């Protein structure tokens, strides 16, 4: 049987350690430094030759630093004779998975090439923005879903009145549908449009039957909070009761939480793909299950 190790990158030290503990695997020690000018340096200690190494590094902000650290770490492991299994729980640039405006770079395709160039053999991520994005990878790439775990958390911790699951846009509708099934409730999809130049978001719906109903809004990413804010305001305008948001990746930039709370959201529940005080759901069991299924 091939032997495995875990290399927790600087952005996901805790998650990597939890995973190693859960799978009873030894760890590669990873030392990192960021210099005053922003350049980073990685040093590893441990013998990885002939090992399968799960490199754990989420790419939340500072996005490019975390991405480069993932690349450097993978490069070194593969140079030293290890086989790299990259676990990137939050995969940055996955939203730019096509050319929305002419001349735009498909960033996800670039990330895929970079990962391949440093020797990554397999990518595992959590709730990639769209499954079509996996098509940009020329090596095995998997997205594990945290939606069942988020739904289970909501089920266990909230007693909701006539709950309805809401997707703030069409892109999140499959996730919301799955979530609603697990909650045995209905689900609806709002109409969100984003100005591709300014990034400005609009959420509309003429008729919304949410009066006195508690809402669980489901999304993959909260970045500035603009999408959730607009959707929550609209739901409140139509008489919604409590609003809980369940979201996999809490990127949370530019005062997102404050914006969301002001719009009437009672609580945000996320996962630990990104460290955050609202990351209530631990993805370690899901990830461990994935790796267990491929360990021979
Ligand atoms: C977009 O389609 C995503 O699913 C999220 O809704 C979006 O990225 C969230 O970004 P923000 O919080 O800045 O509105």
CB atoms inside a 10 Å sphere around CB 169: 18
Closest ligand 1 atom number to CA of residue 221: 5
How far is the centre of ligand 1, averaged over its atoms, from the C-alpha of 46 (Å)? 39
CA distances from 15 to 12, 18, 46, 152, 273 (A): 5, 5, 19, 21, 8
Residue 169 has a pLDDT of 86
How far is the centre of ligand 1, averaged over its atoms, from the C-alpha of 221 (Å)? 5
Residue 206 has a pLDDT of 66
Residue 73 has a pLDDT of 98
Residue 63 has a pLDDT of 97
| Ligand 1 site-directed mutation target among 126, 222, 232, 265, most atoms within 8 Å of CB | 222
How far is the centre of ligand 1, averaged over its atoms, from the C-alpha of 230 (Å)? 11
| Ligand 1 site-directed mutation target among 93, 219, 224, 245, most atoms within 8 Å of CB | 219
- Residue 252, SS3? coil
CA dist., res. 223 & res. 90, Å (int): 12
Would you give the distance in Å from CA 57 to the centre of its chain? Answer: 12
Range 197-206 contact pairs with CB under 8 angstroms and sequence separation of 24 or more = 197/101, 199/226, 200/226, 201/226, 201/227, 201/230, 202/230, 203/168, 203/169, 203/227, 203/230, 203/231, 203/234, 204/234, 205/234
CA dist., res. 90 & res. 106, Å (int): 18
CA dist., res. 215 & res. 85, Å (int): 38
Q: pTM, whole model, 2 decimals?
A: 0.95
Residue ranges lining ligand 1, Cβ < 6 Å: 95, 168-169, 171-172, 201, 219-227
Give the residue, by CA position, lying nearest to ligand 1 atom 10. Answer: 223
Q: What share of the chain is helix, strand, coil (3-state, %, to 5)?
A: 35, 25, 40
Residue 198 has a pLDDT of 81
- Residue 279, SS3? strand
How far is the centre of ligand 1, averaged over its atoms, from the C-alpha of 260 (Å)? 13
Residues 130, 127, 183: CA angle, nearest 5 degrees? 110
Q: Which residues are marked as active site?
A: 192
The answer to whether 2 and 49 are in contact (CB under 8 A) is no
CA dist., res. 145 & res. 129, Å (int): 11
| pLDDT tens, per residue, the chain with 296 residues | 679 999 999 999 999 999 999 999 999 999 999 999 999 999 999 999 999 999 999 999 999 999 999 999 999 999 999 999 999 999 999 999 999 999 999 999 999 999 999 999 999 999 999 999 999 999 999 999 999 999 999 999 999 999 999 998 888 889 999 999 999 999 999 987 777 788 777 777 767 889 999 999 999 999 999 999 999 999 999 999 999 999 999 999 999 999 999 999 999 999 999 999 999 999 999 999 999 999 97
């Amino acid at each position: 049987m091939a032997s495995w190790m875990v290399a927790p990158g600087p952005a996901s030290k805790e998650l990597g350690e939890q995973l190693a503990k859960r799978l009873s695997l030894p760890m590669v020690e990873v030392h990192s430094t960021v210099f005053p000018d922003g350049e980073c340096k990685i040093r590893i200690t441990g013998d990885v030759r002939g090992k399968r190494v799960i490199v754990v590094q989420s790419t939340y902000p500072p996005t490019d630093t975390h991405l480069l650290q993932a690349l450097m770490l993978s490069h070194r492991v593969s140079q030293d004779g290890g086989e790299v299994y990259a676990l990137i729980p939050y995969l940055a640039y996955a939203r730019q998975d096509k050319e929305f405006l002419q001349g735009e770079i498909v960033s996800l395709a670039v990330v895929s090439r970079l990962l391949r160039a440093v020797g990554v053999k397999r990518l595992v991520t959590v709730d990639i923005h769209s499954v079509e994005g996996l098509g940009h990878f020329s090596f095995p790439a998997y997205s594990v879903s945290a939606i069942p775990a988020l739904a289970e958390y909501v089920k266990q911790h909230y007693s909701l009145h006539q709950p309805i699951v809401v997707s703030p846009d069409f892109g999140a509708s499959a996730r919301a549908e799955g979530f609603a099934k697990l909650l045995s409730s209905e689900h609806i999809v709002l109409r969100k449009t984003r100005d591709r130049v300014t990034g400005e978001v609009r959420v509309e719906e003429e008729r919304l039957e949410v009066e006195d109903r508690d809402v669980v809004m489901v999304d993959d990413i909260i970045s500035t909070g603009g999408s959730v804010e607009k959707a929550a305001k609209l739901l409140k305008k139509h008489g919604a009761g409590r609003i809980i948001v369940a979201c996999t990746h809490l990127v949370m930039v530019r005062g997102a939480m404050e914006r969301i709370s002001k719009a009437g959201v009672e609580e945000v529940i996320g996962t630990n793909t990104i460290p955050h005080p609202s990351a209530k759901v631990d993805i370690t069991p899901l990830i461990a299950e994935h790796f267990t299924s491929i360990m021979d």
